Structure 1
Amino acid sequence: MILRPQSLTARVLLVSTIWAVSSLVVIGIVISALYRQGSERGFQDLLRAQLYNVVNSIVVNENEQLAGSPSLGDLRFSQPQTGWYWIVEPIGEFNTPPLASTSLGTGKLPIASVDQVPFDIRYERFYTTHDSFNNKVEVAETEVVLDLQGHAARFRVAGNRNVLESDINDFNRNLYLALSIFGFGGLGMNALAILFGLRPLDQARRSLEKIRAGESERLDGSFPREIQPLASEINALIESNRRIVERARMQVGNLAHSLKTPIAVLMNEARVLEAPHGDLLRAQADAMQTQVQTYLNRARIAAQRESVLARTDIETVLERLVRVMRRLNPERSFVLSVLPPGLTLAMEQQDVEETVGNLLENAARYATNEVRITATPAPEAPAGQEGGRRSWIVIEVEDDGPGLTTEQIGQAIKRGKRLDESKPGTGLGLSIVREIASEYHGAFGLSRGERGGLKATLVLPGVA
């Protein structure tokens, strides 16, 4: 699997950096190769020119001896062991001492075999060898007939390749330095250009964060021509979502209103009927009312839960609920803790109030002295949910009452099931809490608290 950076800026910077570095490396290699090729060709041209200067300076005198004093205008041919030499040697039956530059002294210059390095069509050849002083030299060689009697000689001029390599190395060093400075400067300017060019995307991201946080209802700002259609489509999607939610709420209200009167009539008629028919009709009408309300709530939650505009500040809602519970239960102590401050649920406020309110009512009913309410970020997502898509918040309501056994906990969350008939209630509170949490893809559970009482735990979707 290929790992790709998640940031668009990082992707563009990575691709552009790889391209720029690769281009500079290739350019450096090509320029260096071209310079070497040109330098070697120039070096050979220099040796060829010096070779023919030597040829033009050497003659056969009246004693049939080689004679002449080449003047090449280069002091290196007169300084010993410099790697710059010229040599003239007789060929065949031409019996005469060879001539050589003073720089060679008593040294020798090996000759490459003609089989290894043959003469070209101009009867010249070039090869590399080492002199007696371990200098690496480039040799230019030719053979010339000097007079009409057929006296011939081999002419060689050698140049020190270290001079050539030093010049090439100096050029490469300066080239790579210049390319490095240009490359780092270009990468910096490229990064600034990319960051500046992608700034509108960052602006769009901040606008979306404000929408998710409930601080704004649309994508505001002036965007470039390439991004404006995207911003317009997002605003259209948000507006469409708002209309869908409002239409769902209106339909839910219309349905509730249309069913309210028939159910009320049935319940009134049931009161005047004698048992057991009246009781049966009243029980069924009450069940109808409960079921209608339950499914109306589910429809409302289903229409709202995916909305980016459903936001509720936890601390504000919990403080209001706690104030109400303190007035209703002055003999109980209610301790609230929201850490860190500013936690926000991605839920409708009335759903938060209904779930937490039911839990607080149960806790206050069975608590001995104290009820604790805490809200913190959840360490992990509920089972079956992916934590990376959104944040999750855990709300815990714990009392110091007698608590419940494992078997009693399983019975407590069943709809209409009451474990203590001496306390007021319908037995629907915990089942409603579980259903609302489920509709928001959250989780609800009961367990024994640290102080022996019952601890109710809600895991609900939050705003990242």
Structure 2
Amino acid sequence: MSFGPKSLTARVLLLATLWSAAALVAIAVVISTLYRESADRGFQDLLRAQLYNVINSISIGENNTIAGNPALGDLRFAQPKSGWYWIVEPLGTFAAGPLVSSSLGLSNLAVPSVADVPFDTNYERFYVLDDGSGNKIQVAETEVVLDQEGRAARFRVSGNLAVVETDVRAFSNSLYLALAVFGVGSLIVNALAILYGLKPLDHARGALEKIRAGEAERLQGDFPREIQPLASEINALIDSNQRIVERARMQVGNLAHSLKTPIAVLLNEARLLEKQQGELVRNQAEVMQGQVQSYLNRARIAAQRDSVLSRTEAEPALERLLRVMRRLNGEKEFELTILPANLVFAMEQQDVEETVGNLLENAARFAEHRVKVSVAPAPADIRGGDPLRRFWLELVVEDDGPGLDADQIREAMKRGKRLDESKPGTGLGLSIVREITSEYQGLLDLSRGEQGGLKARLILPGVVKEVA
């Protein structure tokens, strides 16, 4: 399965991964924020409870002093510089001195004014400050009247916020680890689900490749409900294409049959005319015959060149042509090389035989002793710009004759042009080859070969047939 930038599977996997990652990050942030808010509320509730414990433990003693020994059940209120402190300060004309926890000692807290941090409706206020020992603490404060004489005191209880931070950090680490494991597991499950869900598309692609390779004529397979309409439309398109090709073949055959007899009559009648007139009529009739055949071929090729079912195996088709050439040219050697052996032309057999046959006739006409034919996959840089990314074959026909120079090659490619009038022929062979090759969007190139003769090189569409 391909995972390129245009791959549907890659796109779905990428989107699912991005969405899952974004969702997990959002969930982690939300849960972590909610837990922090809950931890802050719980910490304030703890300080409020300790504050009221201190209030319940304090009274006015003898000599107008504050008496009491709050037992908060937390050793941190006894540990110096721990950040856990309680303070009781008398208010107004109450002449008693303050009462503080042993953890605060002789230190003092820089308490903000009531104007900066006012009391709430419950006459409580909470604020955060630095205790001077490097601890960030939160303070809960209130004022309480201690007796009927109106003597009051201000109560403060503080707690070290490092406890909250440590708790939140531990929770966040556990949360992130759990979400990471869950996220990786979800991505794996999503990937498997996506791959499984898109598997029918792979089956459809494989079925199309079989059609393109000539191994099947229809899109076959049991497809899901969402893909079945596409498969049905493709099969309907193939059926329509076949009907168009058959209709074009029939029309071409009818036209060829209707013109064959008039042209044959003209050729026969030309023999009864005087030599000069008869030669003129015969030449023109032959040219007309060649042109009609050429245009019929072009019409037929245009109707079938895009058909996915036009396939001709290279080896048997070329072997048949070479057997004929060996019988007609017994004194010359014909050599065929096809690598790999399972190459197939994406062309009609008649077009392959006419194209290669014309090249073989030219090669046999001018060869001294040997004609070489080879077929191989075309180099990638030759048809690298093909937007359809089709597969191309390189067919080479080379002889050991005199060959042609560049000017002669240009003349030979002209329709009806014969460079050697001593040799039989109409001069239409290379032109027909060029036209058929062009109709299949291929290439024709003539040059001097390694044996010194003419080297005809064709780039034609093809496929590689799978070997069972």
TM-score, length basis structure 1: 0.94
- Map residues 238-249 of structure 1 onto 2, 5 A cutoff: 238-249=238-249
Identity %: 67
In structure 2, do the counterparts of structure 1 residues 439 and 67 end up closer, same or farther at CA, with 3 Å as the change threshold? same
| Deviation for aligned residue 1:121 | 2.4
Matched, 1:24 2:24: yes
Give the aligned partner of residue 129 of structure 1: 129
| The 10-residue stretch of structure 1 (344-353 or 381-390) with the greater mean CA deviation from structure 2 | 381-390
Give the aligned partner of residue 73 of structure 1: 73
| Deviation for aligned residue 1:119 | 2.0
| The 10-residue stretch of structure 1 (283-292 or 22-31) with the greater mean CA deviation from structure 2 | 283-292
- Map residues 431-442 of structure 1 onto 2, 5 A cutoff: 431-442=431-442
Q: Secondary structure at the match of 2:73?
A: coil
| Deviation for aligned residue 1:456 | 0.9
Q: Secondary structure at the match of 2:258?
A: helix
Matched, 1:310 2:315: no
Q: Secondary structure at the match of 2:452?
A: coil
Contact 1:380–1:387 under 8 Å retained in 2: no
| The 10-residue stretch of structure 1 (351-360 or 156-165) with the greater mean CA deviation from structure 2 | 351-360
Q: Could you tell me which runs of 5 or more consecutive residues in structure 2 were left unpaired when the two chains were aligned.
A: none
Q: CA separation in 1, counterparts of 2:273 and 2:366?
A: 37
- Residues matched between the structures, number: 461
| Deviation for aligned residue 1:45 | 1.0
- Which letter maps to 1:151? R
Give the aligned partner of residue 354 of structure 1: 354
Give the aligned partner of residue 292 of structure 1: 292
In structure 2, do the counterparts of structure 1 residues 86 and 383 end up closer, same or farther at CA, with 3 Å as the change threshold? closer
Give the aligned partner of residue 150 of structure 1: 150
Q: CA separation in 2, counterparts of 1:365 and 1:346?
A: 28
Q: Secondary structure at the match of 2:119?
A: coil
Give the aligned partner of residue 445 of structure 2: 445
RMSD after superposition: 2.1
| Deviation for aligned residue 1:306 | 0.7
Q: CA separation in 2, counterparts of 1:361 and 1:387?
A: 34
Give the aligned partner of residue 167 of structure 1: 167
Q: Secondary structure at the match of 1:240?
A: helix
Matched, 1:420 2:416: no
| The 10-residue stretch of structure 1 (113-122 or 452-461) with the greater mean CA deviation from structure 2 | 113-122
In structure 2, do the counterparts of structure 1 residues 149 and 206 end up closer, same or farther at CA, with 3 Å as the change threshold? same
Contact 1:382–1:442 under 8 Å retained in 2: no
Give the aligned partner of residue 85 of structure 2: 85
TM-score, length basis structure 2: 0.93
In structure 2, do the counterparts of structure 1 residues 277 and 403 end up closer, same or farther at CA, with 3 Å as the change threshold? closer
Give the aligned partner of residue 344 of structure 1: 344
Give the aligned partner of residue 393 of structure 1: 393
In structure 2, do the counterparts of structure 1 residues 235 and 67 end up closer, same or farther at CA, with 3 Å as the change threshold? same
| Deviation for aligned residue 1:333 | 3.5
Contact 1:126–1:140 under 8 Å retained in 2: yes
- Which letter maps to 2:411? Q
1:255-313 deviation line (CA, Å, top 9, x unaligned)? 11122222222222222222443333323322222222111111111111010100122
Q: Secondary structure at the match of 2:118?
A: coil
Q: CA separation in 2, counterparts of 1:382 and 1:347?
A: 19
Q: CA separation in 1, counterparts of 2:399 and 2:282?
A: 36
1:415-449 deviation line (CA, Å, top 9, x unaligned)? 22211222222221111111111111111121122
Give the aligned partner of residue 193 of structure 1: 193
Q: Secondary structure at the match of 2:415?
A: coil
- Which letter maps to 1:187? L
